[in-house]
């Protein structure tokens, strides 16, 4: 990612906790405050023949401003974001990368309690960038995939 001086670029990766296929899923949201964004949704585990759906969308200026506010309120640019040694087993995982004006932060999936408490604010702000109609489409596709894979 090579952002312009005032452009915010971001990557957000989320993966469901341990569960049997076809319930498992993961998604990534990437984009820039200056243009198009993308969500890549992987149904099941990332293996051969696993459905992957990609949706692109224009960033909403208000949602982008809310993400900027979340970064400021969480003090994201000032934190060390140190990954802890012990790893959670079975739960969902998420990690982020943000770049702006020559600054870069990588937020790992496993964090200490102080850092972990601000993650929902950042997570909600990034997920809110994706229009609700796209979330509905992806959820419906995943539900249909689960049905065709033999699980209602």
Residue range of the domain that includes 57: 9-148
Any domain includes 4: no
Q: In terms of C-beta density within 10 A (0-12 exposed, 13-18 middle, 19 or more buried), how is residue 28 classed? A: middle
Q: Could you tell me if residue 2 is inside a domain?
A: no
Q: Is the pLDDT of residue 2 over 60?
A: no
CA 124 to chain centre: 9
In a domain, 1, yes or no: no
Residue 50 lies in a domain: yes
User: Which tokens sit at 74?
Assistant: 């969480």
pLDDT in tens, 23-77: 889 999 999 998 899 999 999 887 778 899 999 999 999 999 999 999 999 999 9
For range 88-104, the mean pLDDT: 90
* Count of the separate structural domains present in the chain: 1
Alpha-helical runs (H) found in 26-79? 61-73
Give the CATH number for residue 114. Answer: 3.30.1560
Given a contact cutoff of 8 angstroms between Cβ atoms, the answer to whether 107 and 76 are in contact is yes
User: Is the entire prediction scored with pTM above 0.85?
Assistant: yes
């Amino acid at each position: 990612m090579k952002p312009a001086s005032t452009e915010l670029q971001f990557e957000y990766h989320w993966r469901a906790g341990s569960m049997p296929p076809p319930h498992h899923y993961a998604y990534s949201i990437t984009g820039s405050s200056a243009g198009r964004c993308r969500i890549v949704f992987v149904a099941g585990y990332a293996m051969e023949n696993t459905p992957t759906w990609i949706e692109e969308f224009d960033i909403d200026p208000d949602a982008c401003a809310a993400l900027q506010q979340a970064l400021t309120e969480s003090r994201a640019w000032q934190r060390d974001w140190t990954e802890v040694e012990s790893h959670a087993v079975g739960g969902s995982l998420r990690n982020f990368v943000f770049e702006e004006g020559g600054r870069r932060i990588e937020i790992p999936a496993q964090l200490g309690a102080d850092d972990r408490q601000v993650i929902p604010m950042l997570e909600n702000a990034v997920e809110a960038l994706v229009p609700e109609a796209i979330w509905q489409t992806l959820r419906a596709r995943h539900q249909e995939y689960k049905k065709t894979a033999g699980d209602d």
